[in-house]
Homo-oligomer: A and B are copies of this chain.
């Protein structure tokens, strides 16, 4: 049977040698394993973004793919180091620190096991004394052993109850007769687009359609920081450059962009439950 691909996301960047050390460990476990970068530019220590990105791209990969997510502010403390088997057919190797939130909620975790460090931790000279690099010594090493078939999922370590998985609170949008209330649930840090938690389906069932001009208010911790009427378009090229507009994003949720420009930066907007958005009927 073909060995699964290892897909990595971390907040390490490529600014120093950490990724190279981690990948060397994988290749030393099994030279034939295929490694692909999802990203090494997760926002530092941001387990919510780690969780969201897994949700964003996981389903596009072949079943059986092993995702390794290392955003690990609590490295060396009691947070569990785990491997989850998801209901949609993948494995996720990650600290159980919130990084599994979206996977647990939207795809489902069938079974989760805590990595047994006595078996699945790298022992290479004196690196047993190192407590701060589990990406290399624990997650990367254990993931490589699993993908290679050296250990089975059961041999990762002891199972624990899926209900114990650490999760962030996720907000659901609410609907009144005249308004949809949601939050900006994540950003696109490259193009400066902001993605809400409102699905395209519910937005259109509410009655909004392409070409509508929609009153849009964004509040940050209760204070209004944006208020304008925005068109809802199918894609960016349909509005004039620099126009702020509403569109359906790549995960079929409602988002806002400034055409050929950067909405988040120009309006100094971020994401999270403190950024509430309201779309109002005309």
Residues of B within 8 A of A127 (CB): 250, 252
Interface size on A, residues (CB 8 A): 75
Is A166's beta carbon under 8 Å from chain B?
Answer: no
- Taken together, the copies of this chain in the complex come to 3
Binds B, one of A111-119, A129-137, A215-223: A129-137
Residues of B within 8 A of A260 (CB): 44-45, 73
A143 to B45 alpha-carbon distance, docked (Å): 36
Q: Mark A39-57, 1 if CB is under 8 A from B, else 0.
A: 1110011000000110011
Q: Are B16 and A56 in contact (CB under 8 A)?
A: yes
Q: Mark A2-16, 1 if CB is under 8 A from B, else 0.
A: 100101010111111
Residues of B within 8 A of A200 (CB): 129
Is A178's beta carbon under 8 Å from chain B?
Answer: no
A99 to B124 alpha-carbon distance, docked (Å): 25
Q: How far is the CB of A241 from chain B (nearest CB, A)?
A: 9
Residues of B within 8 A of A13 (CB): 41, 189-190
Could you list which residues of chain A lie within 8 angstroms of chain B, going by C-beta atoms?
2, 5, 7, 9, 11-25, 27-28, 31, 35-41, 44-45, 52-53, 56-62, 65, 73-77, 79, 124-127, 129-133, 136, 186-191, 200, 234-238, 247-250, 252, 260
